Structure 1
């Protein structure tokens, strides 16, 4: 079984976690902006169909 040779430092661990959270936050903001534009009917980058009867 493979084991790490040395312990990862707190700074490196926190840096990786911050990067992960930053990416997740940016993706969430993009999704929210797209959802708002779809609801307003002002989207230009997203193709969808409305089922209106």
Structure 2
């Protein structure tokens, strides 16, 4: 006997996409912060107050 598929609501899928995008941005910003902290950044230029 054929059983109909359950439909997923659009709001749940949009929320999942938003969470995935937010997770990606947070990982990227954390990575940049770590590279700045350990002074290993190649793509971000900033002034270091210690050298002045």
TM-score (norm 2): 0.77
Runs of at least 5 residues in structure 1 that lack an aligned partner in the other structure: 1-8
Alignment match, 2:47: 49
Runs of at least 5 residues in structure 2 that lack an aligned partner in the other structure: 1-6
Number of paired residues?
Answer: 45
Counterpart check, 1:34 vs 2:32? yes
Cα offset, 1:10, TM superposition: 5.2
Post-superposition Cα deviations, 1:4-53, rounded to whole Å, max 9, x if no partner, equal: xxxxx852111000000100010000000000000111000111011115
Moved over 6 A (4+): none
TM-score (norm 1): 0.76
